Structure formats: C-alpha cells, structure tokens
Chain A
Amino acid sequence: ILNVEQSPQSLHVQEGDSTNFTCSFPSSNFYALHWYRWETAKSPEALFVMTLNGDEKKKGRISATLNTKEGYSYLYIKGSQPEDSATYLCAFAGGTSGSRLTFGEGTQLTVNP
C-alpha cells in the first residue's frame, strides 16, 4: 500500500499571507507527482505535474518544488487571496506509465479577507 501524506490537514490564513504545504510520498518507483486544486462544488483542476528531481514549477502566485530522493514536494502560495480557498491535493504516480495516481487526503486552505 502506497503512503501519500499531506500536511497540514487544514490551514486558515489571512489575505496577503504566504503559505506552504507538504506532500510526502514513496521515494522509490517514482514516475510523477501531481498537484490539484479542488474548490467546493467544482471539479479538481490540475496545477502541476512534476517529474524531475529538483523541479520547480510556477503558475502565477503558486509554485511547487520536488525532491524525489527524499520523497517530498512543497506547494507555496504567495500573497494568499480569498479565491485561493480550496483543497489542495497531491498525487503520486509510480511505475512505468504513471497511469495510477495515489492521492493524499489534501490540505484544506481557507483564506480570510
């Protein structure tokens, strides 16, 4: 059984704060690490798919780093806005095709105005 863990489980921040969360995953048999953002009543939306150790990806105020050797990824949000409130899910893809995603339970972020 693959273990993908996210911390913290939930986070409340004030508008303008910067924040970060952690995803830990198996360091062996790695294919990719996915990050998704899931707003209430909407569809989960892909943020990043990261494949290389040391990868850093950025989309607007959101960025992510990847360490495959030690099995962790960080997601950073700079200057949080209320519209960033959502659950952030990471998912580990292993094996030769990366077809099977094992998700963490997510970090629920609430940004207070």
Chain B
Amino acid sequence: DAMVIQNPRYQVTQFGKPVTLSCSQTLNHNVMYWYQQKSSQAPKLLFHYYDKDFNNEADTPDNFQSRRPNTSFCFLDIRSPGLGDAAMYLCATSRLTGYEQYFGPGTRLTVT
C-alpha cells in the first residue's frame, strides 16, 4: 500500500545532541510537510517542500532544518535539541498544495 513512513517511531536524544528524523513516501506526492505537536496542543507547521522548493514558517526556530534529497525522502534535523523540543513530529504529504494531506504515524521525540 502506498503510504507515508516515519522512522523511528520513538527517538530519545540527549540535550544538545543533534538528531535526525526521517520520512519517506511511496505516493509520489510533490509536497512534504513537517509538523510539531506538543502535548495536547494543535499540530504546528514547521516547514514544507514543494518539490525542491523549501518554505519555512516565520516562527520556526533556526535550530530546526530540513532536507529533501529526492521526491521520496524528507529529513528533519534538530541541531541542538532542548527540553522544549520534546514533542510528536508528524510528516505529511500532498499531491499539490491545498489538497488533502496524508500523514505518517509520527515520531515521538524525548530529550533527556
């Protein structure tokens, strides 16, 4: 089945230690998104790619970076995780902007 896959499902990292979360898709969608969801809050868009074009949200901290080496893969890099970065990170795709989004199951990040 075509899908959005996130690895790992659970990630523990140490304060200040760089961490990378990965997302892959078999849908061949043009757009890939990264959301952060802190406990019981609304998912918040960090950035998205339309093909290779990167679109950062104005309030996304510089600590968060992203790479999309090809259509199928997108990575979220957190350069120096702080305790406040502990959250669920959701990856999503859509065929075009404005269309329904297909989500992965998320990676829950713990920072110790």
Contact = CB atoms under 8 A, between A and B. Distances in A.
Interface of A: 4, 31-32, 34, 36, 41-46, 49, 89, 93, 97-106
Contact of B31 (A31, A99, A104, A106): A99
Contacts of A101: 33, 45, 101
Contacts of A100: 45, 48, 57
A98 B98 contact: yes
B43 interface: yes
Contacts, number: 54
A64 to B, nearest CB: 13
B12 to A, nearest CB: 18
A32 to B, nearest CB: 6
Interface residues of B, number: 26
Interface of B: 4, 31, 33, 35, 40-45, 48, 50, 55, 57, 90, 92, 97-106
Nearest to B42: A103
B98 A32 contact: yes
A84 B48 CA distance: 30
A100 B45 CA distance: 7
